[in-house]
Structure 1
Amino acid sequence: MKQKTKVNSEMKREYAISSETIGILPNFDENGFLNSKICKKDGISIAGISPFDLIDTNLRFRGSSMRGALDGAQAILNKKNMNPLILDRERDIILFPCRSPIREDCVWLSLRHVKSYKPSGVRHTQVELSNDSTIILDVSMHTFSKKMHRAYELRYKIQAQTLEFEEKAMEAGVRYHLMKGEVGMNYEGGGLVE
Structure 2
Amino acid sequence: MIDHFHSPSYEVTPLTMAVVPQQDENGNTSTCVLEEQEEFFIHFSPSKIIDHACKFFGSSLRGRQDGTRGICGITHKAPISIDPTSGMYFFPTTSPNNPKCSWIAHSHINQVNQGPGRQTEIIFKNHKSILLDVSFGSMLNQVQRTAQYRYLLDNRIKYLQRHNVDVAAEPFA
Bin the TM-score by the shorter chain.
Answer: 0.7 to 0.9
Aligned length: 167
TM-score (norm 1): 0.79
Q: CA deviation at 1:30?
A: 4.3
1:86 paired residue number? 81
Segments of 5+ residues of structure 2 without an aligned counterpart are none
CA RMSD of aligned residues (A): 1.9
1:51 paired residue number? 46
2:60 paired residue number? 65
Q: CA deviation at 1:169?
A: 2.9
TM-score (norm 2): 0.87
Percent identity, aligned pairs only?
24
2:149 paired residue number? 154
Match of 2:30 among 15, 27, 35: 35
* Deviation beyond 6 Å, 4+ runs, structure 1: none
After superposition, the Cα gap between the structure-2 partners of 1:16 and 1:165, relative to the gap in structure 1 and judged at 3 Å, is same
1:119 paired residue number? 114
* Contact persistence 2:21–2:30 (CA under 8 A): yes
More helix by share: 2
* Contact persistence 2:108–2:124 (CA under 8 A): yes
Question: What SS does the aligned partner of 2:113 have?
Answer: strand
Question: What SS does the aligned partner of 1:171 have?
Answer: helix
Worse overlay, 119-128 or 19-28 = 119-128
Correspondences of 1:164-175 after superposition (within 5 Å): 164-172=159-167, 175=172
Q: CA deviation at 1:134?
A: 1.3
Q: CA deviation at 1:102?
A: 0.9
